[in-house]
Structure 1
Amino acid sequence: MRLNGFNSLEHIWMASDFDGAFAQYVRVPASEIFAVDCNWTDIELATIPCAYGTAENLVQHAKISDSDRVLVTGASGGVGSAVVQLVKRCGAGVTAVAGQAKMAAIRALGADKTIVRGTNLVDALGQSSIDVVIDNVGGENFAQLLKLLVRGGRYVSSGAIAGPMVFMDLRDLYLKDLSLTGCTAWNETVFPNLIGYIERDEIRPLVANTYHLKDISVAHQNFIKKKHVGNFVLIPPAPD
């Protein structure tokens, strides 16, 4: 949730800029409330705001078209799995990187090709073989991602779960006319678009597990193990 206008880059995000994301009750401005006409459960709808909002923002910034070849890193996480669905919704080709045990689940989301995390991506795919990289991983493989991009290719990121400090050969950037974009502030159309996708049955929720709010520490411990595909949902106590 952000507390000022979509059109400003100076968003203020709950859980990032201030506490409260795990509160039982939250008060928000009416402008932050959206009606959704669907048969999803509350638990399923809870997977959408953070993971799918971030993913849709990445897809919009990357300007995905149906002719693009897109590489998605961290494809089994909440954001990554949403990106796979949203990119396929655009008609583009998806190559997804994830752990070996999660390959079947990622293919079921629509990935055209899966690559086991830790594989040398340049060896597996070849240089200049990808139009767009959507990356929330970073880390030591970052330099490979730029090698994969075609001339004029686009790289977008909203995270660095494998490490924020990366090596980059600037020659890849300027000789290939690459565009590198950071994506935190959402475009105004992000959430209305998602509601439309839900209501037209163009995406589906990915609930990996649910936990009662009192078991939040267990949820965090299991999240860190990274054995799941999709999202964890916390269930607050019933109102008194």
Structure 2
Amino acid sequence: MSGASGGVGSAVQLAKACGAYVIAITSPRKNQQLLELEADQVISRDDNLVSILGGNSLDVVIDLVAGKQWPEFLQLLKPRGRYAVSGAIGGALVELDIRTLYLKDLTFYGCSVLQPEVFQNLVNCIEQRKINPIVACTFPLKEIHTAQAVFLEKKHIGKIVLNVAQE
């Protein structure tokens, strides 16, 4: 899972709640925090993923970043593997050798619009304490520029929340 420490870092908890073995990709300074979220393994985003994990070693890749690691993710997927993406902060344009798609019989998923029952299932997981929402920090709306600066520093884990309630 790329972007495991970001705003959708709760995906680590969700994957664990579903019984998955989770390999989180992040910056080294966030390793311990992701292990505390129950990631089974943490790898630096600067490492060569194929060298560490081996080609054709994963059933599913959840990519919350996209960008330069795209080719490695496809190498990691086993034949009939599944790739899901819901972010492109690492770069929106990637190159695909179409032969990789059809020779490995891969399935790609874009994950931005979910069925209504998915949100209810998420709420149920929170209520049952299977997962805990991760809030890195909260800012009043008038401090949106500060919130953006904190986001760009990439030192946080979880969501940066803007409080839009009138003060």
Q: TM-score, normalised by structure 2?
A: 0.95
Of residues 75, 81, 102, the one that matches 1:147 is 75
- Structure showing greater radius of gyration is 1
Matched to 1:77, the amino acid is G
Contact 2:126 2:133 survives alignment (8 Å): no
Report deviation, 1:191.
Answer: 1.1
Question: Is 1:206–2:138 an aligned residue pair?
Answer: no
In 1, Cα distance between equivalents of 2:98 and 2:71: 10
Of residues 90, 109, 119, the one that matches 2:37 is 109
Contact 1:143 1:169 survives alignment (8 Å): no
Q: Aligned residue for 1:162?
A: 90
| Structure 1 unaligned blocks of 5 or more | 1-71
Matched position secondary structure for 1:171 = helix
Q: Aligned residue for 1:132?
A: 60
In 2, Cα distance between equivalents of 1:203 and 1:196: 9
How many residues of Structure 1 are paired with residues of Structure 2 in the alignment?
167
Task: Call closer, same or farther: CA 1:172–1:210 in 2, change over 3 Å.
Answer: same
Report deviation, 1:143.
Answer: 0.7
Question: Is 1:75–2:4 an aligned residue pair?
Answer: yes
Q: Aligned residue for 1:231?
A: 159
| Structure 2 unaligned blocks of 5 or more | none
Q: TM-score, normalised by structure 1?
A: 0.67
Greater alpha carbon shift after TM alignment, 161-170 vs 109-118: 161-170
Report deviation, 1:237.
Answer: 4.9
Question: Is 1:187–2:115 an aligned residue pair?
Answer: yes
CA offset digits 1:89-135 (Å, max 9, x no partner):
00110000000100000111111000011111111100011000000
Question: Is 1:171–2:99 an aligned residue pair?
Answer: yes
Greater alpha carbon shift after TM alignment, 228-237 vs 94-103: 228-237
Report deviation, 1:238.
Answer: 4.7
Structure number with higher strand proportion: 2
Matched to 2:150, the amino acid is N
In 1, Cα distance between equivalents of 2:88 and 2:160: 20
In 2, Cα distance between equivalents of 1:108 and 1:140: 27
Moved over 3 A (4+): 236-239
Matched to 2:152, the amino acid is I
In 1, Cα distance between equivalents of 2:140 and 2:57: 44
1:209-220 → structure 2 map (5 Å cutoff):
209-220=137-148
In 2, Cα distance between equivalents of 1:222 and 1:74: 16
Matched position secondary structure for 2:116 = coil
